Structure 1
Amino acid sequence: MSGNLNEFGITHLRHVDLAVPDYETQRTFYRDTWGLTEEGKDGDLSYFAAEGSPEQYVVRLRQADEKRLDLIAFGADSNDSVDKLAAKLGGEGVQLVGDPGELQTAGGGYGFRFFDLDGRTIEVSSDVATRQHRAVEEGEAIPVRISHAVMNSNDPNATRDWYTKYLGFQLSDSLWSQHMGEMMHFMRCNDWHHSLAIARGPHTSVHHVSFEMRGLDEYMRGTGRVMRAGIKKVWGPGRHLAGNNTFSYFIDPSGNTMEYTTELERLSTDEWHPSLHDIADPNVQDQWGTADPMSEIIARESFNDPDKGVFVAPPV
């Protein structure tokens, strides 16, 4: 897989950090309903880990007056890669939030933050301490790890090109519509089909965040548990064509879409050629045929509110 390694040393998606007004409701949701482990609480911050993942946390919640995406964090293979990437971005006119340094968040590490093309805060870090994790057991319907993050952009092609140019992400596949053009770009930084995807939306916002389950049975049990808890299911269960992964999408209490998935494709060849999939083909949306057909109503659910954090770095 040498050809698919990221040229700037970016290794994987670490965590997605969200600010929410309904903080206690969200804490309860992620812990009791979604199946994450609250590893720690620090004032207005809560850190949630996935039991199967060595990451200190995969979701950070912050109490705030307004809902926003605080940041998306990616891992890097070394402090040297962090320094080189910061120098490259700064030299090419990307707005840095700060210079590389010791991180003050759980697990420490060395990293820096910057704004992407749409104004999201992105963090790249190395040397973050790992946590004690374990193998998720058969029948245990809790997330193993964070899988991917999908973001809305009103110019997804420009955002795709930005991530390719500045962060070395590679395009895996795209979704296309006869009326709307290119609708979603799946981007990879390792051999998973996508760690990031860019969706066409009316404004910059979170489309969804996805969590990998142990297997099909655990994925279905988890889907059922969240449904029984009365959380609104948007779409699924089904299996996408691009990435070949299963999907069940839910709206969390603050209006962000969260996904359970499993069996996301891993690319086993350097000679991967991106496909353009027509979303009018029912198999592109759902190979199983168990989910409702994708509709404008379903699509609108993941437009989310315009993000209040665009080009504003989070306080922590």
Structure 2
Amino acid sequence: MTRTAHQDLHSEQGALRGEHPGRSRNPVIKVADLAWLEFEKPDLDRAEIFARDFGFSVAARTEHELWLRGTLAGSPCMVIREGRTSRFVGPAFRAAERADLDRLARATGSDVRDLDGTGAPGGGRAVDLLDPSGFPVRVVHCGEDLPALPEQRPLLLNFGADHRRTNATQRPPREPSRIQRLGHVVLETRVFGRALDWYLDTLGMIVSDFLFLDGQRERGPTMAFIRCDRGALAVDHHTLAMHLGPGNGYVHSAYQVTDLDSIAAGGEYLNERGYKRSWGIGRHIQGSQLFDYWRDPDRFMLEHFADGDLFSRDLEPGWAPMSTSGLAQWGPPATRDFLGANPSPARVRDVIQALRGDNELDPARLLGLLKAVNT
């Protein structure tokens, strides 16, 4: 039997002849990672309270901006600016080299501008773009990294006959999970195919896994887990994930913590303070992360994760059917809140507008998505 890149790895299926290759032949640049996410909220004090409870540290705070960070050296994780309403603005990706910004600006007809004076810790330069879904996308090259902060140490574990801990007890403190770094962001889009190709062609990202609707594989994928292309260096299974849906919007963002005990003890800390768990604790299939999802006071979903897959450029995309049962190897059933399946006037408006608009959602696709949610 011929072995493939999928044998004993991340997927039982690879691409069929003629399917999307999951990468661009000649991208403009190759981004190195997510830098940070940008939000607007009317109450920065309330946002900071949740941020500290969730496990962020504050990198900088002004009257109108809040910059949040993790413990690892590098760029901040998130900036929250004061605004009239709570909304997700867009992602910022980190360019591998300063020259990439010039190349990107020439290719897209954009300008390279200074980040000095914007409040970004360390300053730097940026190119501002707009993806096909309408999300502002910023590509940055930071002038100076933030220094590392003290870590939350992983517990020393005993495994069967492998006894690494003797004459000592385990007492993980009931405290916030200490965020290490930003891992990924998930977006919903009505123009999935166009948006996917834009991120691959413009930012040089590559697909780790595709999901398709049952009985509609010939129409192409409806979700992609996308990573940065760092060559032989293994990176997160996905830095960006996108799926077809009736809206264009933020779904969730994910932040790495030390281990399972950090997830669980930090979750108890959040629960005691009255925050709402959306779904967890469990272990995903695509990406393999241990996960726990929470809602902040403005209903944005954030994930604590640990122990995710790392892929180098060598692995080709996997293909799998899209279904709720395919979201986790173990854990409680996915909730309607996590799936976005709770009916609301706003969601009904999204569906009506999507079915009437010039996009990739039609009645067959909508029915397929509904079937996947209930599978």
Aligned partner letter, 2:140:
S
* Deviation at residue 302 of structure 1 after TM alignment: 9.6
Residue in 1 aligned with 2:124?
109
- Cα RMSD for the two superposed structures: 2.6
Greater displacement, 245-254 / 132-141: 132-141
Q: Do residues 51 (structure 1) and 71 (structure 2) align? A: yes
Aligned partner letter, 1:109:
G
Q: Supply the distance in 2 between the matched residues of 1:296 and 1:146 (Cα, whole angstroms).
A: 25
Q: Do residues 200 (structure 1) and 244 (structure 2) align? A: yes
Residue in 1 aligned with 2:88?
69
Across the two proteins, how many residue pairs are aligned to each other? Answer: 290
Residue in 2 aligned with 1:30?
51
8 Å Cα contact 2:205/2:226 also seen in 1: yes
Greater displacement, 218-227 / 294-303: 294-303
8 Å Cα contact 1:193/1:266 also seen in 2: yes
Q: Return closer, same or farther for 1:23/1:180 CA change in 2, 3 Å cut-off.
A: farther
Q: Which residue of the other structure, out of 328, 352, 358, is the alignment partner of 1:286?
A: 328
Alignment of 1:134-145 (within 5 A): 134-138=149-153, 139=172, 141-145=177-181
What secondary structure is seen at the aligned counterpart in 1 of 2:311? coil
Residue in 2 aligned with 1:300?
340
Aligned partner letter, 1:153:
T
> For structure 1, which runs of at least 5 residues remain unmatched after alignment?
91-95, 307-316
Aligned partner letter, 1:265:
D
What secondary structure is seen at the aligned counterpart in 2 of 1:277? strand
Residue in 2 aligned with 1:274?
317
8 Å Cα contact 2:125/2:141 also seen in 1: yes
Q: Do residues 222 (structure 1) and 228 (structure 2) align? A: no
What secondary structure is seen at the aligned counterpart in 2 of 1:287? strand
Q: Supply the distance in 1 between the matched residues of 2:266 and 2:320 (Cα, whole angstroms).
A: 29
Q: Which residue of the other structure, out of 152, 167, 177, is the alignment partner of 2:203?
A: 167
Alpha-carbon deviations, 1:125-171, whole Å to 9, x = none?
11431112135132572111011011111222221111112211111
* Deviation at residue 67 of structure 1 after TM alignment: 2.1
Greater displacement, 258-267 / 21-30: 21-30
Alpha-carbon deviations, 1:10-41, whole Å to 9, x = none?
1111100110123321121002x111111221
Q: Which residue of the other structure, out of 34, 38, 41, is the alignment partner of 2:61?
A: 41
Alpha-carbon deviations, 1:275-307, whole Å to 9, x = none?
22224373x21112x221x3555311699979x
What secondary structure is seen at the aligned counterpart in 1 of 2:74? coil
Alpha-carbon deviations, 1:162-181, whole Å to 9, x = none?
11122111111023332787
What secondary structure is seen at the aligned counterpart in 2 of 1:119? coil
* Deviation at residue 70 of structure 1 after TM alignment: 2.5
Q: Return closer, same or farther for 1:301/1:252 CA change in 2, 3 Å cut-off.
A: farther
What secondary structure is seen at the aligned counterpart in 2 of 1:237? strand
> For structure 2, which runs of at least 5 residues remain unmatched after alignment?
1-22, 154-171, 230-234, 348-375
Q: Return closer, same or farther for 1:202/1:22 CA change in 2, 3 Å cut-off.
A: farther
Q: Do residues 189 (structure 1) and 224 (structure 2) align? A: no
Greater displacement, 273-282 / 76-85: 273-282
Q: Return closer, same or farther for 1:197/1:303 CA change in 2, 3 Å cut-off.
A: farther
What secondary structure is seen at the aligned counterpart in 1 of 2:134? coil
Q: Return closer, same or farther for 1:244/1:113 CA change in 2, 3 Å cut-off.
A: same
8 Å Cα contact 1:16/1:73 also seen in 2: yes
Aligned partner letter, 2:340:
R
Residue in 2 aligned with 1:310?
none
What secondary structure is seen at the aligned counterpart in 2 of 1:10? coil
Residue in 1 aligned with 2:185?
149
Residue in 2 aligned with 1:121?
136
What secondary structure is seen at the aligned counterpart in 1 of 2:242? strand
TM-score (ref. length: structure 2): 0.71
Q: Supply the distance in 2 between the matched residues of 1:157 and 1:23 (Cα, whole angstroms).
A: 36
* Deviation at residue 43 of structure 1 after TM alignment: 2.1
Aligned partner letter, 1:258:
L
Q: Supply the distance in 2 between the matched residues of 1:53 and 1:136 (Cα, whole angstroms).
A: 11
State percent identity of aligned pairs. Answer: 23
Q: Supply the distance in 2 between the matched residues of 1:281 and 1:299 (Cα, whole angstroms).
A: 8
Aligned partner letter, 1:237:
I
Alignment of 1:5-16 (within 5 A): 8-16=29-37
Q: Supply the distance in 1 between the matched residues of 2:249 and 2:238 (Cα, whole angstroms).
A: 18
Max Rg structure: 2
Residue in 2 aligned with 1:309?
none
Q: Supply the distance in 2 between the matched residues of 1:183 and 1:151 (Cα, whole angstroms).
A: 12
Q: Supply the distance in 2 between the matched residues of 1:107 and 1:70 (Cα, whole angstroms).
A: 21
